[in-house]
Amino acid sequence: MRYIILFCWICIFPFAGYSTEVVAEKVLQKADSLFQLADYQQAGIWYDKAAYLSVDNVQKTHALMRKGDCYLMRSNYAAAEQCLSRITYYGLNDSMQYAARYKTALSAYLNSSFENAESQILQLRAFVSDTLLSVNAYPLYALILNESNRWTEAKEVLLQYISSSGSSAEQKQQMKQEVEKMYAGASIPRLKDVEKAKKLSSIIPGTGQIYAGYWGEGILSVTLQAVGLGITGLGIWKQYYASGVLIGFSFFQRFYMGGITRTEFLAQKKNYTLKRNFNNSRKEFVLKLLPN
């Protein structure tokens, strides 16, 4: 019996090299070497091959994450997001799940898919039981919230992150003060109400543009509309009724309607500028907090 078992072992041994796990591991090594050579497209293909050959979900997830890295290195954020969406989270431990969800959220953020990015962070918070790990995603979460104009929530998230960081009490205090200063009520952008701007322009021409912060355009708009009405009045006074009413009033009406449309555009432009200026200036600070 002992020899039969021995014989079986001898028979099984040569097949060890055929194991898909071993082959996948070799493919992964090849992909790593290509990645180091900065051949990201080929590396991505080999990582995908490793994912294809892997039976173990951890190895498969690792390979897909590395493929995501290849896309990120090529600045192809949409492809990175799509590739990472192929990860299945069944059977992954906390650190692996954190890494995968974090990378997916980062790709989605870079691809301007802020809803998906936030969804990944929320799932990360829900499914990664180790809060010391999940809190590391908070700086990215703050960046995502900034883009959704939810600055108060972003501030809270950053404060939570600083509280749980390993910095000294003094450093924490300093960072918290910086966050409080950056997100103080006065510095948070006061976005213009687009509908209100339109209403203002329809009631008193030019005021919508002025409300949106464009004084010059507001004054020009009201002047042109006054000229239109002036032509109308002049035409009636000089008894050129058709010329006065039709040309003058058409002139006024064109600028009146155009002024409302322009106001909408200007209010949106102002909001975009305010948001970008605020978010860009905060991004630098938040990026320093991001874990490596």
Query: Amino acid identity of 214?
Result: Y
Least distance (Å) between residue 82 CB and another protein? 7
**One-character DSSP codes across 233-247:** HHHHHTT-HIIIIII
In the bound state with another protein, the residue whose beta carbon lies nearer, of 42 and 279, is 42
Least distance (Å) between residue 21 CB and another protein? 13
Least distance (Å) between residue 10 CB and another protein? 5
Least distance (Å) between residue 90 CB and another protein? 18
φ, ψ (nearest 5 deg) of residue 128? -90, 110
In the bound state with another protein, the residue whose beta carbon lies nearer, of 64 and 159, is 64
Longest CA–CA separation in the chain, Å: 124
Least distance (Å) between residue 61 CB and another protein? 14
Integer distance in angstroms from the first to the last C-alpha of the chain? 57
Which two tokens mark 85? Answer: 């969406």
CA distances from 232 to 236, 238, 240, 245, 253 (A): 6, 10, 9, 5, 11
**Residue among 110, 125, 189, 186 at smallest CA distance from 157:** 125
In the bound state with another protein, the residue whose beta carbon lies nearer, of 215 and 241, is 241
The residue behind tokens 């896309």 is 71
- Residue ranges in contact with another protein by CB under 8 A: 3, 6-7, 10-11, 13-14, 17-18, 23, 26-27, 41-42, 44-45, 48-49, 52-53, 79, 82-83, 86, 240-243, 246-247, 250
In the bound state with another protein, the residue whose beta carbon lies nearer, of 7 and 89, is 7
70: Cα separation from own chain's centroid = 19
d(CA 282, CA 277): 9
d(CA 155, CA 177): 11
Least distance (Å) between residue 252 CB and another protein? 13
Least distance (Å) between residue 173 CB and another protein? 49
142: Cα separation from own chain's centroid = 10
90: Cα separation from own chain's centroid = 26
**Residue among 291, 277, 118 at smallest CA distance from 182:** 277
